[in-house]
Amino acid sequence: MTSEGAPGSHGAQTRKVPPADQQPDWPDPIHLRDVTDQLARAVPLVFAAECDALRSRLAAVAKGEALLLQGGDCAETFAGATQESVDGKLRTLLQMAVVLTHGASMPVVKVGRMAGQFAKPRSQPFERRGDTTLPVYRGDAVNGPGFTVRERTPDPDRMLRMYETSATTLNLVRALTAGGFADLARVHEWNRAFVAASPSGQRYERLADEIERALAFVRACGGETGRLATAEFYVSHEGLLLDYERALTRTDPATGKRYATSSHLLWIGERTRRPEGPHIEYFAGISNPIAVKLGPGATADTVLRYVDRLDPDREPGRLTFVVRMGAERVRDLLPLLVEKVASEEAPVAWVCDPMHGNTFVTESGHKTRHFDAVADGLRGFMEVHHALGTHPGGVHLELTGDDVTECLGGSSAVGQDALPQRYETACDPRLNHSQALDLAFLLAEWYRSRRPG
Ligand SMILES: O=C[C@H](O)[C@H](O)COP(=O)(O)O
Ligand SMILES: C=C(OP(=O)(O)O)C(=O)O
Distance of CA 9 to the CA centre of its chain: 29
Give the span between the Cα atoms of 64 and 72, in whole angstroms: 24
Q: What is the predicted pLDDT for the residue at 230?
A: 84
Distance CA 96, CA 226 (A): 21
Split at pLDDT 50, 70, 90, the class of 206 is confident
Ligand 2 contacts CB of residue 8 (under 6 A): no
Q: What is the CA radius of gyration of the chain?
A: 21
Q: Which domain holds residue 65?
A: 2-182+230-449
Give residue 360's pLDDT.
97
Per-residue pLDDT tens over the stretch 118-161? 999 999 999 999 999 999 999 999 999 999 999 999 999 999 99
**Residues contacting ligand 1 via CB (< 6 Å):** 74, 120-123, 356, 427-428
Return the ligand 1 atom nearest residue 269 CA.
2
Check if the beta carbon of residue 260 is closer than 8 Å to that of residue 247: no
pLDDT above 80 (res 225):
no
**Distance from the CA of 426 to the center of ligand 1, in angstroms?**
10
Q: Are 271 and 121 in contact (CB under 8 A)?
A: yes
7 lines ligand 2 (CB under 6 A): no
In the predicted model, what is the mean pLDDT of the chain?
A: 94
Pair 316, 63: CB distance under 8 Å? yes
The per-residue b/e assignment along 316-336, b for 16 or more CB within 10 angstroms, e otherwise, is: bbbbbbbbbbbbeebbebbbe
Q: How far apart are CA 349 and CA 161, in angstroms?
A: 33
| Separation of CA 270 and ligand 2 centre (Å) | 6
Domain count, the chain: 1
Mutate to test the pocket of ligand 2, among 114, 353, 367, 398 (most ligand atoms within 8 A of CB): 353
Residue 422 or residue 210, greater confidence:
422
pLDDT in tens, 154-188: 999 999 999 999 999 999 999 999 988 988 888 98
Instruction: Determine whether the annotation assigns residue 366 to a binding site.
Output: no
Q: Is the pLDDT of residue 4 over 50?
A: no
Q: Which residues contact 358 (CB under 8 A, 6 or more apart)?
A: 326, 327, 369, 370, 373, 374, 377
Residue 296 lies in a domain: yes
CA angle 143, 148, 150 (to 5 degrees): 55
pLDDT of residue 142: 98
Q: How sure is the predictor about 335, in pLDDT bands with cuts at 50, 70 and 90?
A: very high
Distance CA 345, CA 194 (A): 42
Taking the CA of 117 as reference, the closest ligand is 2
Residue 2: the pLDDT is 57
Ligand 2 pocket, 369 CB below 6 A?
no
Sign of CA dihedral 323, 325, 331, 333: negative
Q: Which atom of ligand 2 is nearest to the CA of 121?
A: 1
Measured CA angle at 231 (ends 284, 140), to 5 deg: 55
Residue at 193 is within a domain: no
Residue 166 lies in a domain: yes
Instruction: Please tell me the number of Cα atoms within 13 Å of 95 on its side-chain side.
Output: 28
> What ipTM was estimated for this complex?
0.98
- Strands 132-135 and 126-129: what pairing? antiparallel
Query: Looking at the domain assignment, is residue 315 inside a domain?
Result: yes
Confidence of residue 215 (pLDDT cuts 50, 70, 90): confident
Per-residue confidence (pLDDT) for residue 10, from 0 to 100 = 42
CATH number of the domain that residue 244 is part of: 3.20.20.70
Atom of ligand 1 at shortest distance to CA of 124?
A: 12
Q: In the prediction, which pLDDT does 14 show?
A: 53
Q: Is residue 15 very low, low, confident or very high in pLDDT (cuts 50, 70, 90)?
A: low
Q: What is the largest CA-CA distance in the chain?
A: 71
Spell out the residues 6+ positions from residue 257 whose beta carbon is closer than 8 angstroms to its own. 48, 251, 287
Query: Is residue 228 predicted with pLDDT exceeding 90?
Result: no
Whether 194 contacts 188, CB under 8 Å:
no
pLDDT 10s digits, 36-92: 999 999 999 999 999 999 999 999 999 999 999 999 999 999 999 999 999 999 999
The ligand whose atoms approach the alpha carbon of 271 most closely is 2
Residue 413 lies in a domain: yes
pLDDT in tens, 231-278: 999 999 999 999 999 999 999 999 999 999 999 999 999 999 999 999
Confidence of residue 446 (pLDDT cuts 50, 70, 90): very high
Residue owning the nearest CA to atom 7 of ligand 1: 122
138 lines ligand 2 (CB under 6 A): no
Q: Whose CA is nearest to atom 3 of ligand 2?
A: 269
Query: Ligand 1, residues 21, 73, 74, 120: which to mutate, most atoms within 8 A of Cβ?
Result: 120
Q: Would the annotation count 150 as a binding residue?
A: no
In a domain, 381, yes or no: yes
Q: Is 402 in the pocket of ligand 2 (CB under 6 A)?
A: no
Higher pLDDT, 287 or 199: 287
**Beta carbon of 76 within 6 Å of any ligand 2 atom:** no
Nearest CA to ligand 1 atom 12: 122
Q: Specify if 25 maps to a domain.
A: yes
Q: Is 4 annotated as a binding residue?
A: no
Does the residue 198 lie in any domain? Answer: no
Treating both helix axes as pointing N-terminal to C-terminal, what angle do 300-310 and 330-343 enclose, rounded to 10 degrees?
Answer: 40
CA dihedral sign of residues 41, 47, 52, 55: negative
Closest atom of ligand 2 to 293 CA is 6
The reply to whether 41 sits in an annotated binding site is no
| pLDDT computed for residue 5 by the predictor | 36
Asked if residue 428 belongs to a known ligand binding site, the reply is yes
